[in-house]
Structure 1
């Protein structure tokens, strides 16, 4: 498998020099879309970015993207129902976050999941989840999705046209990653968990994303280790953490009760290349605050043989 894309979005440029741009990170949202199976481990939905993309080309990713100004539009409040900015800040565990940003991150998560994966986390006016299983409905919403991509329609206009209400309560904040300071293109990304709603089938957008697949966490990690797919550090570490849970009920219960620590990786050189230390690593030196060492958890991620791998020290 060709792996040129590993250099894009890595910690260093192709010639090995550090990228010293260090711009302020942009807020973003990512959704870990999951489904249970009647037998065996639950699965996570992953999509492959077009290998020609400048950012993480060829990598397998969760649905997600940056926070747009429209995501924080005050008029969106009427499309969300009883979910408030205070609810968003409490669930994100970020009391100092501006209210518009906190609520906007949930909206961005919903929007990106629909744009990139075709899954809409919303409800009918009666309270039932949106069902896209009927062919006519699926075709109509597929057209909406294209209009969103082409910026001929906003998500707010879509839900108003269909009489829907956003369902941010279907999103559970799970992790918080910030791109290392040595990168010029940086994101302040909140990761959310979400179950696949009944009556919906995720499909990659066939534009920025060229393939998609449901994988168990163990299978995704094995494919990455074998070099058959590319998982970048946040995705790799997140999927590794999913191995601790046998079903989504266990995972969601743990996510609702956990403390969400900010993960700002610290880049370092190795004898053969480079890697990143996570905040609970014993040699982590950034002032963001060291986190408790998780039992059995990896503390750093290194590039070995063109593949990102987790390690404990």
Structure 2
């Protein structure tokens, strides 16, 4: 897309098997939890919001040097392509990569793994990365990875074999092993709407599964705190205005309400992740009582979305309810405030995905049922 003014990123939904917490809605009890990170209050983008780990891509995430890392673990470039390239049309976030980059399906997974390591210290690696690596040394590598590449040369670590221009790559070159890209399954691609102007991101979301959620720590820079919660518990806290969830997190956590069991969700994600990656670019409509963000598959979604913000946002003299009742196919977020965002979905999403549930409506239904008992 010519003249684009956004950055690309990757985010990781981390699912850990564990005991379910109590929730007011019995059918939303789960035997798994999710990892959330609270962004710093000083952040210029979404301060204090609870998000999944992730961040902006770096050129080094797509370096051909990674092929040597994977080769030492027994995987060639054709092996990686056979594993990760699916028959569906490539989303723009993959298709726009230059030929000298490694496979984008691998590069974005490396971004998600690197950012997770930076932000909370969780390293998703395989093939015996540094079997003798102690926690102190791992933390030193984490600090090196967190630094800007331009500052890495002056870091005081006693590493000697490789340049620290790209410390995450250098870590695997020195210690062996490789990023556990096979454990990350494609989930969805969220593209920030045009109203965010210069703070826009096209973000590939992946999902991964961990039997036991490890103890993780915030970096006390970009991330202020760590929280592990079930889908219903985090949505309930958000609904009570105890914490802030950005709309993509609200939608994706609401999608997870379809799954009560860790193994059920894992089977679904592994199978669905090979079908394709759809981009969700919310298109705003200003109703009289709030903002409607329509998504692909909705009757109101335009055939040619305005990715560059060249058109005025559509305004209508109808309420969100009236707009909803006038449509047949619905895939939208109805927003009155940061804490009043309803997922309204009655379509079957593309590539075999699950539909997001309307948590606020489910709460209301649950309260009504209990009041009659």
Contact 2:17 2:211 (C-alpha < 8 Å) held by counterparts: no
Larger radius of gyration: 2
CA distance in 1, matches of 2:340, 2:280: 17
CA distance in 2, matches of 1:200, 1:31: 15
Which of 243, 246, 256 matches 1:242?
256
| Pairing of 1:270-289 with structure 2 (within 5 A) | 270-287=287-304
| Pairing of 1:144-183 with structure 2 (within 5 A) | 144-151=141-148, 152=152, 153=164, 154-183=167-196
Deviations 1:225-267 (A, max 9, x none): 1111111111110000111112232122222333432211111
Task: Describe the shift of the 1:187–1:283 C-alpha distance in structure 2 as closer, same or farther (beyond 3 A).
Answer: same
TM-score normalised to structure 2 length: 0.68
Deviations 1:157-197 (A, max 9, x none): 11222222221001111111111134322222111111236
CA distance in 1, matches of 2:147, 2:212: 27
Quote the RMSD (CA, aligned, Å).
2.7
Worse-superposed segment, 60-69 or 81-90: 81-90
Worse-superposed segment, 148-157 or 110-119: 148-157
The question of 1:262 aligning with 2:243 is answered no
Please, which runs of 5 or more residues in structure 2 have no aligned partner? Answer: 21-29, 153-163, 306-328, 346-373
Structure 2 match to 1:33: 14
Bigger helix fraction: 2
TM-score normalised to structure 1 length: 0.80
Structure 1 match to 2:319: none
Shift of 1:86: 5.0
What secondary structure, in the 3-state scheme, does the structure 1 residue paired with 2:46 have?
coil
| Pairing of 1:1-313 with structure 2 (within 5 A) | 23-38=4-19, 40-80=30-70, 81=73, 82=75, 84-85=80-81, 87-90=83-86, 94=90, 97=95, 98=97, 100=102, 101-125=104-128, 137-151=134-148, 152=152, 153=164, 154-184=167-197, 185-196=199-210, 200-258=214-272, 259=275, 260-287=277-304, 299-312=331-344
Contact 2:16 2:212 (C-alpha < 8 Å) held by counterparts: no
CA distance in 1, matches of 2:50, 2:5: 25
Q: How many residues align?
A: 278
